[in-house]
Amino acid sequence: MKSVSLVICCFNEEAVIPALFERIAALEASLASYRLEVVCVNDGSTDGTLEALLAQQRARPGVVVLDLSRNFGKEAALSAGLAHASGDAVVPIDADLQDPPELIPQMLQKWEEGFEVVLARRSDRSTDSVSKRVAAGWFYRVHNAMSDIRIPADVGDFRLLDRCVVEVLNSLPESRRFMKGLFAWAGFRTATVDYRREPRASGRSHFGGWRLWNLAVEGITSFSLMPLRVWSYVGALVATASLAYGAFILVRTLVYGRDWPGYASLIVAILFLGGLQLIGIGIIGEYMGRTYLEAKRRPAYVVRKVFREEPPA
C-alpha cells in the first residue's frame, strides 16, 4: 500500500484545528487504497495550537506533531515537515483550509500517471483582497523576468511531491529557504490541477504587507543576480550622462564665456548620485547579509520535541 503524507504548518491556528481534522478524516475515507500520514508542525504558536494538535493525535493515532523551539517562519516549518514526512507522496497544505483537501485524490491521479510534481493552481482568488492579488501578480512578473528559475503564477505551497523530489529538497544545504523557488528549481515532470481558493476557516492571515514584502525580497535575492548586475548599467548610464553634460558645459563656456553654475542644480546632482549610491550599497548589503547568514551554517529550524503515537497493530 502506497503512503501519502500531509505536511501542515501551524502558527496560532487553535480555532481551525477541529475543522481541519474533520476534513482530513473525510479525505482518509476516500483514500482507502493509500495509507495516510499527517505531519503537523507547530511553529512556535502562542495560543493552544499544540494542545489542540495533541488532542487530535490522541483521537487519531498515527499523527506526527513537531513542536519547534520558537517561531522560525513558514519556510523553515515547511522544511521541518518535509524532513519528517515518510510518505511515497508528500502534500504540503495550509491549516486554514483555504486549500481544499478534497483536491488531493485528483492530484494523486496525476501522480499515478507518472508525474513527480502536481501543482495546485488557484484559478479563482476572489477570496483574497484586491491588494493581495495585485501584489502577487506583480511579484510573479518581476521574479520571472529577473530570474532564470520561473515560479508558476498563482501556485502556493499546496502541491504533491513524489518521494524523489522530497529527497532532493531535503538534501539542499541552505538555511535561508524560499520554498516556492526551491520547488521550481528542483524541476521533475510536472502536472497542474486548478481549484477555487476558499475563504479562511477561521481568523485572519498572519502574512501582512511587510512580511509579504520581505518574502518577495527573499525570493528575488535567492534566485537572481539581476539586482546586482543592474547597478553596473546604472553606473555606466550615469557616467555617460555626466561626461555628456561636462562636454556640453565646456562647449558652452568656450562659446559664451565663463559660466557660473547654480547652487540648486549642484545640490540636486549631489543628492541624486548619493541616493543612487545608497541604493546600490543597500542591494549589495542584502546579498552580503545572505552570504553571512549562510556561512554560519546554522540549521533552518530547531525541533523541541517530536510527538508520535504509532497506530495499534
Please provide the DSSP assignment of 264-294 as one string. HHHHHHHHHHHHHHHHHHHHHHHHHHHHHHH
Does 267 have pLDDT greater than 80? no
In this prediction, residues 53-61 reach a mean pLDDT of: 85
Q: How confident is the model at residue 35 (pLDDT cuts 50, 70, 90)?
A: confident
Does pLDDT of 213 surpass 80? no
pLDDT of residue 206 exceeding 60 = no
Q: What are phi and psi of 95, to 5 degrees?
A: -75, -20
Mean pLDDT of all residues in 106-131 = 80
pLDDT higher for 273 or 27? 27
pLDDT: is 68 or 149 the higher one? Answer: 68
pLDDT at 301 over 70: yes
Please give the torsion angle defined by the CA atoms of residues 103, 107, 112 and 113, in that order, rounded to the nearest 10 degrees: 120
| Rounded average pLDDT over 189-217 | 68
Angle between helices 226-256 and 209-223 (to 10 degrees): 90
pTM of the shown model = 0.71
Residue 312 pLDDT greater than 60, yes or no: no
Averaged over 283-300, what is the pLDDT? 77
Band of residue 160 on the pLDDT scale cut at 50, 70, 90: very high
Those residues whose C-beta lies under 8 Å from the C-beta of residue 111, and which sit 6 or more positions away, are: 89, 118, 160, 162
Q: What is the pLDDT of residue 41?
A: 92
Question: Residue 96 to residues 149, 154, 158, 200: CA-CA distances in angstroms?
Answer: 29, 17, 12, 5
pLDDT > 70 in the chain, percent: 79
- Report the half-sphere exposure of 35 (CA within 13 A, side-chain side): 11
The pLDDT mean for the chain works out to 79
How much is the pLDDT for 155? 81
Residues 6+ apart with CB under 8 A from 35: 1, 2, 3, 4, 87
Name the least confident of 54-63, 109-118, 219-228, 231-240: 219-228
Give the per-residue pLDDT at 313.
47
What's the average model confidence in pLDDT over 206-216? 60
Are 78 and 150 spatial neighbours (Cβ–Cβ below 8 Å)?
no
Of the two residues 80 and 263, the one the predictor is more confident about is 80
Provide the residue type at 140 as one letter.
Y
pLDDT of residue 161: 92
- Per the model's pLDDT, the better-predicted residue between 263 and 41 turns out to be 41
- Per-residue pLDDT, averaged over 199-226, amounts to 62
